Structure 1
Amino acid sequence: MESLKVSDYMNPRPVTFSLDMTVANAVERLLKGHQTGGPVINEQRKLVGFLSEQDCMTRMLESSYYREQVARVSDIMQPRVLSIKPYMSIIELAQQMLNEKPKVYPVVDDDGYLLGSITRSQVLHAMDIQLHDGYKRAG
């Protein structure tokens, strides 16, 4: 199972956000893509942050209460992002996920360019496939 790599199970086309996108547009993308969050990228597709449903919900509540103007993704995103490399093993990532809170990890190359994302569900799926294959071979 150590040979399972993140690149084999990641989503190569995750929902992404730009710095200048409005929070309203970002929420529409999250809802349409059925994702809990996603990477924020610059024009060169370099990872610059992460936007979650919780970030959006907090801003939308504040906006409705204070009747504020439209906020941008850059105003509410998390600039510190836990990202991973495509060559990381699924088992390593699963172990990391036990200690870290993110449900979605951006996958970046060695220069910080976004390649995709991987979720807890995708990691579980990869491990489930491997375990079932192991059971078939053993039986």
Structure 2
Amino acid sequence: MQSLQVRDYLNSHPVTFTPDMAIEQASEMITKTHELGGPVVDPTGNLVGFLSESDILGKMLETGYYNEHVSSVDQLMRKDVLTMKPYDSIVEVAQTMMQAKPKVYPVTDDDGNLLGTICRNDVLAALDSHIRSAFHVTTKTG
């Protein structure tokens, strides 16, 4: 299973945000894509943060209550972001996900450029596919 790598299972077209984007626009993007959050990138594609549904929820309540724009992505995003590399093992990512709270991890190259995201469902699908494949081969030959 160590041969399973992030690059083979990542979402290469995740929802992304810019630091100056209004929270209302970010919320609309999340609800339309049904993603749990997404990377925040600068104009050159470098990862600068991460914005999740839970980061937005409180501010959206406030926005609705006061009926005014209260924030932009850069004010709510997390700047200290756990990332994965495309060459990381799916097994290692699964072990990290069992201990860390994020459900979605940006995948970056060694220069910090965003390549996509990998979420718990992607990792589960990779492990499930591998186990099913191994089981199918074993039962066919055995």
2:37 pairs with 1:34: no
Matched to 2:80, the amino acid is: R
Matched to 2:61, the amino acid is: L
Regions of 4+ moved over 6 Å = none
Query: What is the RMSD computed on CA atoms of the aligned residues?
Result: 1.0
Q: Helix, strand or coil: the match of 1:17?
A: coil
Check the 8 A contact 2:59/2:70 in 1, yes or no: no
Once the two structures are superposed, residues 50-97 of structure 1 have per-residue CA deviations (whole angstroms, 9 ceiling, x without a partner) of 001011111112223344434210111111100010000000100011
2:121 pairs with 1:121: yes
Which runs of no fewer than 5 residues in structure 1 stay unpaired? none
Once residues 20 and 40 of structure 2 are traced to their aligned partners in structure 1, the CA distance between those partners, rounded to angstroms, is: 10
Identity %: 50
2:130 pairs with 1:130: yes
Q: Helix, strand or coil: the match of 2:62?
A: helix
Judge which range, 123-132 or 67-76, deviates more: 67-76
Once residues 95 and 84 of structure 1 are traced to their aligned partners in structure 2, the CA distance between those partners, rounded to angstroms, is: 12
Judge which range, 6-15 or 65-74, deviates more: 65-74
Q: Helix, strand or coil: the match of 2:63?
A: helix
When the two structures are superposed, what TM-score results if normalisation uses the length of structure 1?
Answer: 0.96
Once residues 102 and 130 of structure 2 are traced to their aligned partners in structure 1, the CA distance between those partners, rounded to angstroms, is: 23
Once residues 67 and 32 of structure 2 are traced to their aligned partners in structure 1, the CA distance between those partners, rounded to angstroms, is: 25
Judge which range, 60-69 or 80-89, deviates more: 60-69
Once residues 64 and 127 of structure 1 are traced to their aligned partners in structure 2, the CA distance between those partners, rounded to angstroms, is: 41
| 1:51 aligned residue | 51
When the two structures are superposed, what TM-score results if normalisation uses the length of structure 2?
Answer: 0.94
Matched ranges for 1:1-139 at <5 A: 1-139=1-139
Q: Helix, strand or coil: the match of 2:118?
A: strand
